[in-house]
């Protein structure tokens, strides 16, 4: 088996797969499998290319230098210049290269308008819906529903300054000997982005005379809004 033949054919086969996955990704048809295939075959192509260069070093140097004058061949200048231009354009994120990079996706999917900020009425609606669902689940002692709104890993900073988690709130609810009902009133809701909302409000309890103020951080996960961070305080110590 001739090593040059093996290396050259390996480069050709790997390049064929790499080119196919690259075209699919360029036109926005990539998937987890395609992207991983592209990455691994890219590594394989680099390895095969190194062996190819080693096996054909004398030929490559002959293509690069003029034997009579010792100068650089024009045929080498053109690809080297193109590579430098593309590297600089991509590295400095020049508009023409950004458009070129997204041209394939836009051709297949069409150009999508940039999403603006979430409308305030929608923010308020989401905030009220989540806070109402949270208060209802807590007041009913429905830990299953509460867990979908206030996940076990949610950090809760209480009025006393202690740090609990969503799981602690659920367990404490089960241990309650006297049923507690709460009501929440949203005072302000602000969208940080399309998947994150900060809610500030007031909470009242049937077991505690003094109302407390709270800040909830809501995050959309798997198409459901959840409370991922809680801070509570009494108005006098806020």
Q: How many C-alpha atoms does 167 have within 13 Å on its Cβ side? A: 2
Domain ranges of the chain: 3-109, 120-237
Q: 238: pLDDT confidence band, cut at 50, 70 and 90?
A: very low
Q: What is the pLDDT of residue 66?
A: 80
DSSP states of 112-159 as a string?
A: PPPP-PPPHHHHHHHHHHHHHHHHHHHHHT-HHHHHHHS-TT-EEE-T
**Mean pLDDT to the nearest integer, 55-78:** 83
Q: What is the pLDDT of residue 94?
A: 83
Q: Which residue has the tokens 């076990």?
A: 152
Q: Do 154 and 166 contact (CB within 8 A), yes or no?
A: yes
What single-letter DSSP state applies at residue 208? -
Nearest C-alpha neighbor of 138 from the set 238, 235, 227: 227
**Mean pLDDT to the nearest integer, 158-176:** 93
Residue 71 has pLDDT above 90, yes or no: no
For the chain, the average pLDDT equals: 89
Q: What is the pLDDT of residue 133?
A: 97
Task: Quote the distance between the C-alpha of residue 71 and its chain's center.
Answer: 50
Q: What is the pLDDT of residue 91?
A: 83
pLDDT tens by residue, 108-134: 766 555 556 789 999 999 999 999 999
Residue 70 has pLDDT above 80, yes or no: no
Class of domain 120-237 (CATH, top level)? alpha beta
Of 100 and 88, the one with more pLDDT: 88
With the CA atoms of 15, 21, 22 and 27 taken in that order, what torsion angle do they form, in degrees rounded to the nearest 10?
150
pLDDT tens by residue, 35-63: 999 999 999 999 998 998 888 888 888 88
Q: Do 41 and 17 contact (CB within 8 A), yes or no?
A: yes
**pTM greater than 0.85:** no
């Amino acid at each position: 088996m001739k090593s040059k033949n093996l290396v050259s054919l390996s480069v050709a086969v790997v390049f064929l797969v790499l080119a196919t996955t690259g075209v699919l990704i360029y036109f926005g048809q990539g998937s987890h499998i395609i992207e991983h295939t592209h990455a691994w075959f890219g590594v394989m192509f680099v390895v095969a290319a190194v062996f190819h260069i080693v096996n054909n070093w004398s030929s490559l140097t002959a293509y690069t230098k003029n034997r009579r004058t010792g100068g650089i061949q024009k045929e080498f200048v053109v690809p080297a210049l193109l590579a430098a231009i593309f590297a600089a354009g991509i590295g400095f994120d020049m508009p023409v290269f950004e458009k070129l990079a997204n041209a394939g996706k836009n051709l297949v999917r069409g150009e999508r308008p940039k999403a603006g900020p979430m409308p305030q009425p929608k923010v308020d609606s989401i905030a009220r819906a989540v806070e109402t669902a949270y208060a209802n689940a807590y007041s009913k002692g429905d830990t299953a529903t509460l867990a979908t709104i206030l996940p076990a890993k949610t950090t809760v900073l209480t009025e006393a300054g202690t740090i609990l988690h969503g799981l602690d709130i659920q367990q404490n609810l089960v241990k309650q000997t006297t049923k507690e009902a709460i009501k929440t009133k949203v005072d302000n809701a602000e969208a940080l982005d399309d998947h994150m909302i900060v809610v500030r409000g007031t909470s009242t309890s049937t077991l505690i005379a003094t109302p407390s103020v709270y800040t909830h951080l809501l995050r959309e996960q798997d198409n459901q809004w959840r409370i991922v961070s809680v801070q509570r305080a009494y108005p006098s110590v806020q």
